[in-house]
Amino acid sequence: MGEFLCIGDYISLFCEETEGYVYSYQTSSSHNGLYIYQGQDRKKPGKIPNPHAITFRVCIQNRYKLNKKYRKLLAASSKDPENLELKALVAQAKTSANAENQDNISEQKRQHGKRVRYGEIIQLKHVFTDKYVHISTTQTSHRDKNNMLISLHQYNGKHAQFRILPRYKVKSEGEYVQILDQIVYESFKSQGHYFHSSVPWNIEKDMVGSELNLGVAQTGFTVVRYYRPSDENEANVRGSSFIRLFHKELEAYLVAEGLFGEPVQEEVHLRIREIDQLNPRTLSPPNSAITYWQVEPEDTILNGGVVRWEQQVRLRHVTTRRFLCLDADFEVCLTAEENDPRSVFRFHPVLSLSDFEQNEIDFESYCRIEHVLTGNWLHALKDEPYQRRRDMGRENDRSMQALRWDGGEVRKISSTENRRYVDVFTIHEVEWEQIYSANFVAGMVPFLSKLIESREECDYLNAMKTHQITTALQELKQFMIINGETYKDHQKLMRNFRIVDLLVQLLQSPLQDAPDSNYLLSVFKEAYDILYTYMTGNSRKNALYFAKYIEFFQTQLSLKASTSVMIKQYHLVVVDPTLKGDIGLNVAQMLVELIRDNRQIVDRITHEQIDIFVDLLRQRKNYRFLDLLNVLCVCDGKTILENQSYITETWLRHDKVSFDAKTCHIHLTGADVYLIERGQYIHKEHNVVYISTDAGHTWVPLHQFAN
């Protein structure tokens, strides 16, 4: 049975014409195309950032009509939010759509393991993005204008259904599909059209590949099985499994910090997380992506089967996409070289192998880790703290740059020739929801990095590019919001994958004199919305991490924008009126959330910075700058007298605001300060609020003044 393709199998598609695998590693709906590598070895392909990027799940033909009805009603309700009848229909349609989804899940389980025959209709679900492969009957391919677009979408539909056919006549419809057969995929929606690979072109700066599209010409694909799931091995560690390595004696996780495509920020070390029965948070494993490692069998990245004790494997760090390694000095580090023999390890059980009924590694197993090339063992140096690179030489630095946002205890990790009793690691499983979240954020990095590079190379935006970028940024913002509130675990991923740093780097691009300043402005607006969403939720660590950029954002407070941007969406051109306004106000709003109730940041705000805020309040006369001064005066309900006194001196007294104790009058000379008082205190009508614009000489009811 193992030689046949079955429902539920995880497979990869190897294109015979280009000699490469079909892949996608971007997760936004505006960058959802599928591409094909060039010149790879089918058995041991290279330069694959994540095995999930080339893996698809074979699914049954799902039902979709109730979900389609729900999506249409939801779109109509968003355009007419006051329509109560439409809201009731949406609620009813949502219930029906959820029931349809459950029926699809049940049917998928029922048919799991059923052999697939030629001529049957299946669906392909991409593992990295958790989306179905779709064809479009209205959009043409980006590369071949005579062909139709193939892309990835979250929902089911007739566009996501394909008939599997043999490439050669040696097989016929009705026969079982075997692994390593060459097949073609025909669209069920647009019959007579097949998966097709485009002519090779530069997909990225240093990468040549082909686009997967739909055309009348056929392209053959070899079915390569990656993994067949079963109930028996759900508790086993498999190829491409996400794991955490927990040092049992030290109560610490093996971590590293950085982002793929960039230098490593912090080398491999141990981060202590002591279990405290009185602190429920410590009883569960951390959900920080810096603790995630991906297991890859040494023989090939395409082996998604069960990993066994003493099998040779590589451990790829998820955020840096580099491999755990021992250097020439036997120090633990990371390497980007995927075939480096120094990056091969073995898991050894704590007990003897003879004590195990089976040789498979289970999650939550205890193990020791051996380096294959040297025979050394990973060893925790529990008495040697790890020196963070970002803290070196900043012991007496009082600037924002030196503000420590991470106070966790860390220790060095090394290797030793002798196996130590205490160096036992627990292999923790990472749940699928956390894997999906990490993949989603990782899939947003490529378009941001590409955008930053294009700004440096003076590759300017147009309407279509702007629409794609702003759509992706909006999805990234919504990712941090669950049920109307910001979700800290997702905000944490913005730090782990350095999304915050990439956005700040993007915002440092010149705006004023850029030829595409109108388009760039819309991108900046969305970027500031993401940073504001990141800052909300009262997370001190988020605020402290972001504080190093305060000086830059001060320079952005005076930016203005008064033009709207034309955004082209498909064949329509619309004007987005929300882009009219003032970028400086977005920055001020974000800084308020950053500084609010965070004494460490407030104490490092200098008088020179306060002067800037006061000057902006005088010039712009906007309440957000007043909010900015307010959060500098009160922190966690406690007044900060030094800041209060300085703001009073700089703002009010500078503008000649004085108080006459004999007449009990406030005298203003040129200050834009109005007095507000309730009527009973100024011999006016009780419980009516009055306002005075002339230092209390005359009073007008506030509702009349507003009109």
In this structure, are residues 631 and 593 in contact, taking their beta carbons and an 8 Å threshold?
Answer: no
Q: Would you state the pLDDT for residue 581?
A: 46
Residue 599 vs residues 167, 310, 538, 636, 645: alpha-carbon distances, Å: 68, 51, 13, 8, 17
Which stretch of DSSP H or E encloses residue 584?
A: helix 583-595
Residue 357 DSSP one-character state: S
In this structure, are residues 413 and 297 in contact, taking their beta carbons and an 8 Å threshold?
Answer: no
Q: Would you state the pLDDT for residue 355?
A: 60
Q: Would you state the pLDDT for residue 280?
A: 78
Alpha-carbon distance of 437 to 495, in angstroms, equals: 13
Alpha-carbon distance of 92 to 124, in angstroms, equals: 29
Q: Would you state the pLDDT for residue 556?
A: 86
Instruction: Identify which of 69, 65, 107 has the alpha carbon closest to the alpha carbon of residue 90.
Output: 69
Query: Which tokens hold the place of 531?
Result: 């940073």
Structural domains of the chain ordered from first start: 10-60+111-227 (2.80.10.50), 231-430 (2.80.10.50), 434-604 (1.25.10.30), 657-706 (no CATH)
Q: Which three-class secondary structure state does DSSP give residue 271?
A: strand
Alpha-carbon distance of 560 to 581, in angstroms, equals: 7
Strand 242-247, strand 293-297: pairing? antiparallel
3-state secondary structure 435-449: HHHHHHHHCCHHHHH
**Cα 612-613-614 angle, rounded to 5 deg:** 90
Residue 561 CB neighbours (<10 A):
21
In this structure, are residues 573 and 566 in contact, taking their beta carbons and an 8 Å threshold?
Answer: yes
Q: Would you state the pLDDT for residue 476?
A: 97
Phi first, then psi, for residue 614 (nearest 5°) are: -65, -45
DSSP characters for 211-253? EEEEESS---EEEEEEE---GGGTTB-BTT-EEEEEETTTTEE
Instruction: Identify which of 434, 431, 310, 300 has the alpha carbon closest to the alpha carbon of residue 361.
Output: 310
Mean pLDDT, 10 residues at a time, the chain of 707 residues: 86 95 96 95 92 97 96 93 92 96 96 96 98 95 92 96 94 94 96 95 85 96 94 92 96 96 95 84 87 96 94 98 95 95 96 72 95 96 90 70 82 94 95 97 97 92 95 97 93 96 94 88 94 88 89 80 39 35 79 89 90 87 88 90 89 59 48 77 89 83 85
Residue 361 DSSP one-character state: P
Sign of CA dihedral 475, 478, 482, 483: negative
What is the amino acid identity at position 626? L
Q: Would you state the pLDDT for residue 132?
A: 98
Burial of 29 (0-12, 13-18, 19+ CB in 10 A): middle
Unique residue bearing structure tokens 């033909």: 61
Q: What pTM does this model have?
A: 0.88
3-state secondary structure 637-668: CEECHHHHHHHHHHHHHCCCEEEECCCCEEEE
DSSP characters for 439-486? HHHHTTHHHHHHHHHHHHTT----HHHHHHHHHHHHHHHHHTEETTEE
In this structure, are residues 58 and 108 in contact, taking their beta carbons and an 8 Å threshold?
Answer: no
Which residues touch 78 (CB under 8 Å, ≥6 apart)? none
Residue 51 DSSP one-character state: G
Alpha-carbon distance of 46 to 39, in angstroms, equals: 10
